[in-house]
Chains A and B, each alone.
Chain A
Amino acid sequence: MLENLISEDRVILDLKSKTKDEVLKELLSVLKLPEEREKIVLDALKKRESIGSTGIGKGIAIPHVRSVVLDDVYLVVGLSREGVDFDSLDGKPVHLFFLLCAPPQDPGTTYLLTLGKIAQIARKLARRNDYMDIKTPEEFVRYLLKLEEEEE
């Protein structure tokens, strides 16, 4: 499932942002949406975070949103070496982000299934931190695809 969504050009291994709003913007910028669309999606992401952080603990967050202005399902993966305060459940800084954005039309409930798959991968990642040593986006993509195949 992930292989159709993940690509090297949507992996950032050196997020510069220091705050929650900045990191959402930095992750979203990878999609190169026109300005007016980016603003709408960013506002929706912030609104979603305002009802409860998507920082699930153990240094991982899965910000996600659906919006009318999106034409496809997009996944962006970001790694922050320093960590970002994301109001996570465990209060710890977040190092690994999975940003999932999708349009509203979703005949095969792909969005929820993908979100579920990412949450499953995040649970596996929560037990390790070797991903912090990965040096290239290519390597990171391979790492995540391998992890997806592993039994939980």
Chain B
Amino acid sequence: MNKILEALITLNDLDLMIEEIKNPNYRDLGFEIDVQQKLEALEKARDEIRSKIPENILRKYDILKKRYHRGVSPIIGGVCMNCFVRLPISIVSQPHDNEKVETCPNCGIFIYWA
């Protein structure tokens, strides 16, 4: 897998985790977490991952995240799981091994071929 794509996925997963532990509904489930202390640890890990991603891609990720609450989306069965639009057959029919950083032609989100 492309290293930048892998870092974007890890960043997205970390952002999800950070969102999760801030969610009061999640905390009500009974998992004991010192939120403040652990948030700092997760944010440090996030900074480390961000340092591995080129600035222009990171800027785009941040814009996407603001707009869609995520920067990366899987493509499942030829459909982008962010905008739920089927990608053109000319793109879907090509082999995809996640060896390059690609975006959805409809919504612009970074995509992962699942």
Where the two chains meet, the residues of A that have a C-beta atom closer than 8 Å to any C-beta of B are 36-37, 40, 43-44, 47-48, 50-52, 54, 56, 62, 65-71, 89, 103-105, 112, 115-116, 119
- 28 inter-chain pairs at a CB distance below 8 angstroms, sorted by A residue, are A36-B1, A40-B6, A40-B13, A47-B17, A47-B42, A48-B17, A51-B33, A51-B38, A51-B41, A51-B42, A52-B33, A52-B34, A54-B31, A56-B30, A56-B31, A62-B31, A65-B17, A66-B16, A66-B20, A68-B73, A69-B9, A70-B114, A104-B12, A104-B13, A105-B82, A115-B29, A119-B29, A119-B30
Instruction: Pick the contact of B81: A40, A47, A103 (CB < 8 A).
Output: A103
Where the two chains meet, the residues of B that have a C-beta atom closer than 8 Å to any C-beta of A are 1, 6, 9-10, 12-14, 16-17, 20-21, 23, 25-26, 29-34, 38, 41-42, 45, 70, 72-74, 76, 81-82, 98, 112, 114
B70-A104 in contact (CB<8A)? yes
